[in-house]
Amino acid sequence: MSFSRRINSLVSRWRQSRYDLTEIDRTNKLIIFIVPFVEEVNGGVMSIFSLCENSRRINPEAAVFLCTEPNKYTYAVNRKFLNREKVCNLKQILDRAGKVEELIIHVPEYLAAKFYRRLTPGQRQLLQKLPSVQINILNQNIELMPTRRAFDDLFHLTFNITQTTAHDRYATQEGCNRFGIPLHHFSVSIDVSTYKKYPFNTKEKLVVLSPDDNPHRQEILNVISRELPDYRVQTVQGITFEQFMDLIARAFVVISFGEGYDGYFVQPWYVDTMGLAVYNEKFFPGPEWRSFANVYASFSELGRRLAVDIRRWEQNKNLYYQTIERSRNLNNTIYSYDTFLDNLRRFYNRQYDFYPQG
């Protein structure tokens, strides 16, 4: 695996060396989004690509780039889902940034505590001498967000440290105070409206499972095997986003074993498929979701109700679609594209939602 990754990285660096980066020389403002060094597809990565694309629209005067995290490995294009982004390595961008007056680096939360140490001494010196540097921590998963002390060394680079959130649930004053830095809610916008839908009577007897590690996975698998023997099960693994969207469109239900309020729960609704999840107060936008027929109080409850609910939806097409529509409509009120774009604009205008108190 490491040999293959090394070869792919060498090829990618050659491709990256051919990218036209002269726009950096012609601008005073540079915006960088950091992504993992491995070409992959998941909600977090796709949302960063979306943030990058829309930041470019909002900041036409700026040079906006996606860069893999500081690492010996990299990739040049993410072919796992539809996008038009070129992916660079951070070194090649910072090497040209010496005359930039304003630099904003968006760093994913999982990397925030390691980012300073991953930089070379020369890169640290560059960031320290530029007129304006902002490091924004992309807090997309509150469970991956490090403690304030863990990312203290970022303040050696700049005092302008902020955080932005993907989930509405933890975009709060309390969350701002906890980390002691300004907090702004970005939201999420991943367009899945163009993907194919399958009519109710052509849906397969298929239960799709998210790949997340979960101690209750086998319990649910046992329920399906015992009580739904006519259904087959497929875990999402090793497929592109387009293949994923077609898979969940064909399925009857999709079960999230992860955050709960995630792509495995939400995205099925947009291809008229039932997404199921266990309520997680850290990620669900509000307690009103507890009343939804496709949201369960625990995995034990999911196990008890799963077969009964599926059989009921099989017999009642209207109830199946009404449940999906109710979920989709509420989600749209929280995560609309217009709201997402407005949130993004306010961030770049430094009109943050929350500032530390006390």
Residue 153 Cα distances to 115, 126, 132, 134, 149, angstroms: 9, 16, 18, 14, 8
- pLDDT at position 310 is 98
**What tokens were used for 128?**
């320290």
Q: Sorting pLDDT into bands at 50, 70 and 90, what band is 264?
A: very high
Model confidence pLDDT, tens digit, residues 280-298: 998 998 999 999 999 999 9
Query: Helix, strand, coil proportions of the chain in percent (round to 5)?
Result: 45, 15, 40
Q: Sorting pLDDT into bands at 50, 70 and 90, what band is 334?
A: confident
| Arithmetic mean of pLDDT, 223-249 | 95
User: Which of the 8 DSSP states describes residue 84?
Assistant: -
Model confidence pLDDT, tens digit, residues 106-130: 999 999 999 999 999 999 999 999 9
Model confidence pLDDT, tens digit, residues 36-71: 998 887 888 989 999 999 999 999 999 999 999 998
Distance in angstroms (rounded) separating the CA atoms of residues 58 and 51? 10
Which class is domain 2-189+337-348? alpha beta
- pLDDT at position 190 is 76
CB atoms within 10 A of CB 176: 23
DSSP per position, 107-166: EEGGGTTTHHHHS-HHHHHHHHHSSEEEEEEEE--TTTPPPTGGGGGGGGT-S-EEEEES
- pLDDT at position 48 is 95
- In this predicted structure, the answer to whether residue 358 has a pLDDT above a threshold of 80 is no
| Arithmetic mean of pLDDT, 221-247 | 95
The CATH superfamily of 200-334 is: Glycogen Phosphorylase B; (3.40.50.2000)
Q: Are both 2-189+337-348 and 200-334 of the same fold?
A: yes
Residue with tokens 């407005």: 342
What's the whole-number average pLDDT of the chain?
94
Lowest mean pLDDT among 85-89, 186-190, 198-202: 186-190
CB atoms within 10 A of CB 257: 22
What is the per-residue burial (b if ≥16 Cβ within 10 Å, else e) of 69-92?
bbeebbbbebebbebebbbbbbbb
- pLDDT at position 134 is 98
Distance in angstroms (rounded) separating the CA atoms of residues 286 and 279? 10
Residue 193 Cα distances to 45, 247, 254, 275, 328, angstroms: 19, 15, 18, 16, 12
| Arithmetic mean of pLDDT, 237-253 | 94
Distance in angstroms (rounded) separating the CA atoms of residues 90 and 106? 12
Angle at 141 between CA 176 and CA 223, to 5 degrees: 140
Name the residue ranges covered by the structural domains of the chain.
2-189+337-348, 200-334
- In this predicted structure, the answer to whether residue 350 has a pLDDT above a threshold of 70 is yes
